[in-house]
Amino acid sequence: MPATVGRRPGRLAPLHRVTSGIDRRTVVRVGVVAAVAYAAWLAIGLFGRPYNFFDMKIYHGAVVWWASGHELYEFIAPDTTLGFTYPPFAGLVMLPMAHLPVGLAGLVNAAASLAALAIVLAALLRPIVDRLAWPLWFSVAIAVPLAAAIEPARETLGYGQVNLLLFALIMADLIGLRWRSRRGTHATADDGPLLRFLYSGAWAGAGIGLATAVKLTPALFIAYLMLTRQWRVAATAIGTTVAVTVGTFAIVGAESRAYFGSVLWQTERVGAADMTPNQSLAGLLARLYDSIETPGLLWFSFAVLILALGLSRATNAHADGDELTAFTLVGLTANVISPISWTHHLVWVIPAIIVLADAAVRRREASRGLAYRAGPAQPNGGLPGVNGLRPPIWYPTLTGLRHGVAALGLYLLFLISPIWPYEHQLPEVSHYQDGLFGALMENSLAVALIVLVAGLPWRPGAEPAFHADRMGRAVAAARR
């Protein structure tokens, strides 16, 4: 017996050698990531709807129909009144999936969308986690399941939509602007011409152009680029859109003429304005008026006001050196003023949550710095005054609290998505069936979007899209 016991440490030696090189913090972090991913999966099952790639089945059926020699926009999905509503360029992009089973096509789209979301989150979180000295892989591994669990992402993935892919195209231009502002400092002498071109950011605008060719609402980003006098980026976006559209005309002229001649104007192909998933301003007004149609003049008046407000605030955010917030405000504005914004379109709440959370952290860090630099504490615990008195110990903790609460509240709102328990459809059921509280819940996401357009804070100097030597002049000009 003693001999057997004595051999046990020898048997465990290989295991000890393997585990000795593993950092305990890494093990804990992997466990946290696994727990967050599992919690996100449970949240999707609890708060999400039954998903069966419903929209993907329409796209897949349309391109199979088209590949069989029929007209693309004549397709109507079985047992529905729905057909293909995207421009013909989107049909060309989706055409290869006609060779795949619809289930596999949905899984491929979901995998590509999650990969795009992970890349975008890595790019958006990189400046923040570098400042806070957090591991990037750990932050992204937590952020991806958290983002995938909220309403816009889970609807996009579950229904087989393309919103996360379009979101990634637009965010790619933000990264291009970031690299361009640094004059291609990522490139080295050993890099080839392709990498040097990539790091130069000279291609910025192509993503917005491609997204506009697939779906028309990203065109608002081109207007924003022109308002902020980013002429080269705007020209790249316009040139990309025009080149892709003209090229599509040359390849599939009949479908292009059908789309721009008639299909584009057939708003009834998309759905009724008052449907609960339509969380745009038009949907909000239709439901408030308890009408299938939106009151046109009232919608137009408020839409122009929100458009001016959103673009004005985005321009100011750009001038103060926060391009991420500027892009987010433009995306949120497009969601609000679009006649139809289904809940899977609202992916711009993801960067809005990031901006709010980072604003909270920045304000707390700034208040700590003021506390440490101040003089002796005031005997009665008062705030610092003209004598350089130190603020009370609770002051840095509470600074930024409202932004942190706003970030958490926004996340929980889009996680729980309280619109579905109060979903109603005219003429069968009035939108006031559950009283004023039910009407508020049914419109809660639309209200949140409008509040974000009006109140999302920006972070001066956090994400400049122009060279450092121009930043001071731009900020001064904006303040004047």
Q: Which residues pair with 377 in a beta bridge?
A: 390
pLDDT tens sequence across 120-134 = 999 999 999 988 889
What is the distance, to the nearest Å, from the Cα of residue 466 to the centroid of all Cα atoms in its chain? Answer: 23
Q: What is the pLDDT of residue 386?
A: 47
Q: Which residues of 136-159 are buried (b: 16+ CB within 10 A; e: fewer)?
A: eebbbbbbbbbbbbbbbbbbbbbb
The DSSP call for residue 463 is B
Q: How far apart are CA 152 and CA 47, in angstroms?
A: 12
Q: What is the pLDDT of residue 192?
A: 65
Are residues 113 and 56 in contact, defined by beta-carbon separation less than 8 angstroms? Answer: no
Query: In 48-135, which residue ranges form alpha helices assigned H by DSSP?
Result: 54-67, 88-94, 102-132
pLDDT class of 149 with cuts at 50, 70, 90: very high
pLDDT class of 469 with cuts at 50, 70, 90: very low
Are residues 336 and 312 in contact, defined by beta-carbon separation less than 8 angstroms? Answer: no
Domain ranges of the chain: 269-480
Are residues 293 and 286 in contact, defined by beta-carbon separation less than 8 angstroms? Answer: yes
Cβ within 8 Å of residue 88, ≥6 positions away: 72, 248, 252, 255, 256, 259
What value does the mean pLDDT take over residues 337-358?
Answer: 95
Q: What is the pLDDT of residue 464?
A: 80
Are residues 462 and 127 in contact, defined by beta-carbon separation less than 8 angstroms? Answer: yes
Query: What's the pTM value of the predicted model, to 2 decimals?
Result: 0.86
What value does the mean pLDDT take over residues 225-241?
Answer: 94
Are residues 391 and 367 in contact, defined by beta-carbon separation less than 8 angstroms? Answer: yes
Q: Is the pLDDT of residue 422 over 60?
A: yes
Q: What is the pLDDT of residue 170?
A: 96
Which tops the pLDDT comparison, 375 or 280?
280
Q: How far apart are CA 244 and CA 209, in angstroms?
A: 8
Are residues 336 and 306 in contact, defined by beta-carbon separation less than 8 angstroms? Answer: yes
